[in-house]
């Protein structure tokens, strides 16, 4: 009999429409998901799981929140797409700026990839320079110049990380190890006048969750300002999830508490949460830079479905529900889950480290310290993770199918879900001992 995974693989390359959904990192065959509600997803065989994927970030309120669903239904009934500006697009952009002051102007797009791609083009257009600096192991979507990964200790000129990306497209990307102040400073010393931008995740969350070393974001901002380069902060994953003003807000609040002036991105990208599960992403930033975008300026960017009214309805309803209470609960849940999982692993003598960034966290098996660089994150025990993944799956818990992902909690996750996950980890850990 043909399994679903075999049927899917016969038509969709790898059986998926986005590679992270495949179980290549853990082995085995995924069962299709049929529905989701609150903290749970249900597969096509009717099995329910506590969900720690959360649509890879957007489902911050839990799945199918009634207010969001109603907003989408009402918007759909008014028309799916007009190709003209709507009131709600303006309201969503205002909502973003109201929470994240450096986003003085906002352009809505449909995916995080479009947002970061546009940010790079805008930085190049505004500075007239070609080179960009990115950090090894950080993900910014799949546009050509950003599909360039690792260099080792020293800053290296990029080589493509994907077939189909030309050496030319990668040659202008300089890759630096994350958190390495010396390598970053050296990159500026060597290439400064030709650097258009540095792009970083506000807190890296695509090689597991990484806490940015104290002062690293500030250093990037200072080097960019001194050299006339654009400081691009990618908050597609962390935005309005790591905290009420993304990870920028987490560091801003800490700076203010310490009596230090907060650092500011020149451009910032959002996605995931701002669409509430629908395709909405955004580029924001300094007004003088953003006004270089078409139709005001010479940097072209466009989209038939940008600011789509149904998608925007989901995003706006989600953002308006994100109160301080929601973040306080998310934070408590992340603490309880990360702490409970760590204790269960520790009790069984399983070496591990927990990476944290605001309400985001992930677990690195086999490491004794939370990593900062990709090299360190890659030294985790991925085989042990695969065993834990399958044990948890059997116990009704859906983990991301890769050791390099964040564990996403939502406002709908409560004590019962935390207990179920911690018990499942404890049972697996005992079986490993």
Binding residues for ligand PLP (CB under 6 A): 56, 111-113, 116, 139-141, 201, 206, 234, 236-237, 271, 281
Tell me the closest approach of the beta carbon of residue 112 to ligand PLP, in angstroms.
2
Asked if 272 is an active-site residue, the reply is yes
Tell me the closest approach of the beta carbon of residue 244 to ligand PLP, in angstroms.
18
Q: Which of 51, 180, 234, 266 is catalytic?
A: 234
Token reading at 244: 């009420």
341 to 31, 94, 337: CA distances (angstroms):
25, 39, 6
Closest to ligand PLP by CB, 86 or 206: 206
Closest to ligand PLP by CB, 112 or 179: 112
Tell me the closest approach of the beta carbon of residue 152 to ligand PLP, in angstroms.
23
Closest to ligand PLP by CB, 116 or 342: 116
Residue nearest to ligand PLP (CB): 112
HSE of 225 in the Cβ direction (CA atoms, 13 Å)? Answer: 10
Tell me the closest approach of the beta carbon of residue 270 to ligand PLP, in angstroms.
9
**E strand or H helix that includes residue 134:** strand 131-135
How far is residue 315's CA from residue 275's CA, in Å, rounded to a whole number? Answer: 4
Closest to ligand PLP by CB, 151 or 277: 277
Beta bridge partners of 197: 132, 230
Tell me the closest approach of the beta carbon of residue 420 to ligand PLP, in angstroms.
26
How far is residue 286's CA from residue 7's CA, in Å, rounded to a whole number? Answer: 48
402 to 9, 27, 150, 194, 358: CA distances (angstroms):
19, 10, 19, 37, 21
Tell me the closest approach of the beta carbon of residue 242 to ligand PLP, in angstroms.
11
- Dihedrals φ, ψ of 195, to 5°? -85, 115
Q: Which of 49, 131, 266, 272 is catalytic?
A: 272
Q: Closest Cα to residue 264, out of 256, 274, 252, 253?
A: 252
Tell me the closest approach of the beta carbon of residue 119 to ligand PLP, in angstroms.
10
- Which residues, 6 or more positions from 224, have their beta carbon under 8 angstroms from its beta carbon? 195, 197, 198, 230, 231, 266
How far is residue 263's CA from residue 233's CA, in Å, rounded to a whole number? Answer: 11
- DSSP H helices, 79-111, are 87-99
- Dihedrals φ, ψ of 106, to 5°? -135, 135
Q: Is 191 helix (H, G, I), strand (E, B) or coil?
A: helix
Closest to ligand PLP by CB, 165 or 236: 236
Asked if 134 is an active-site residue, the reply is no
Q: Which of 139, 178, 247, 327 is catalytic?
A: 139
Closest to ligand PLP by CB, 165 or 424: 165
Closest to ligand PLP by CB, 96 or 391: 96
**E strand or H helix that includes residue 282:** strand 281-285
Asked if 234 is an active-site residue, the reply is yes
Residues noted as catalytic? 139, 234, 272
């Amino acid at each position: 009999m043909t399994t679903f995974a075999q049927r899917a693989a016969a038509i969709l390359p790898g059986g998926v429409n986005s590679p992270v959904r495949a179980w290549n990192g853990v082995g085995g065959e995924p069962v299709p998901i049929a529905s989701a509600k609150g903290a749970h997803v249900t597969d096509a065989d009717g099995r329910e799981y506590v969900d720690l994927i959360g649509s890879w970030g957007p489902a911050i309120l839990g799945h199918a929140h009634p207010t969001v669903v109603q907003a989408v239904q009402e918007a759909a009934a008014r028309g799916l797409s007009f190709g003209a500006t709507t009131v709600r697009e303006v309201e969503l952009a205002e909502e973003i700026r109201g929470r994240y002051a450096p986003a003085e102007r906002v352009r809505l797009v449909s995916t995080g990839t479009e947002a970061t791609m546009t940010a790079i083009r805008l930085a190049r257009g505004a500075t007239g320079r070609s080179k960009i600096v990115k950090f090894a192991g950080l993900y910014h979507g799949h546009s050509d110049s950003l599909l360039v990964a690792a260099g080792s200790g020293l800053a290296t000129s990029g080589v493509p990380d994907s077939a189909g990306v030309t050496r030319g497209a990668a040659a202008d990307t300089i890759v630096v190890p994350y958190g390495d102040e010396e390598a970053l400073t050296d990159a500026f010393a060597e290439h400064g006048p030709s650097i258009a931008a540095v792009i970083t995740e506000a807190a890296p969350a695509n090689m597991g969750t990484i806490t940015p070393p104290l002062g690293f974001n500030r250093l990037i901002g200072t080097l960019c300002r001194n050299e006339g380069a654009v400081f691009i902060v990618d908050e597609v994953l962390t935005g309005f999830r790591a905290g009420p003003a993304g990870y920028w807000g987490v560091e801003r609040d800490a700076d203010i508490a310490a009596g230090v002036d907060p650092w500011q991105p020149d451009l910032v990208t959002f996605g995931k949460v701002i669409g509430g599960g629908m395709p909405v992403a955004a580029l924001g930033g300094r007004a003088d830079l953003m006004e270089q975008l078409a139709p005001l300026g010479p940097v072209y960017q466009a989209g038939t479905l940008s600011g789509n009214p149904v998608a925007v309805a989901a995003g706006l309803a989600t953002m308006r529900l994100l109160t301080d209470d929601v973040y306080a609960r998310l934070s408590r849940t992340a603490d309880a889950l990360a702490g409970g999982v760590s204790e269960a692993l520790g009790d069984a003598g399983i070496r591990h480290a927990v990476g944290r960034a605001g309400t985001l966290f992930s677990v690195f098996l086999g490491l004794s310290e939370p990593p900062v660089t990709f090299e360190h994150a890659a030294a985790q025990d991925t085989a042990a993770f695969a065993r834990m993944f399958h044990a948890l799956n059997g116990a009704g818990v859906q983990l991301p199918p890769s050791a390099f992902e964040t564990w996403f909690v939502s406002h709908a996750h409560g004590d019962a879900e935390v207990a179920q996950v911690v018990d499942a980890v404890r049972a697996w850990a005992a079986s490993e001992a």
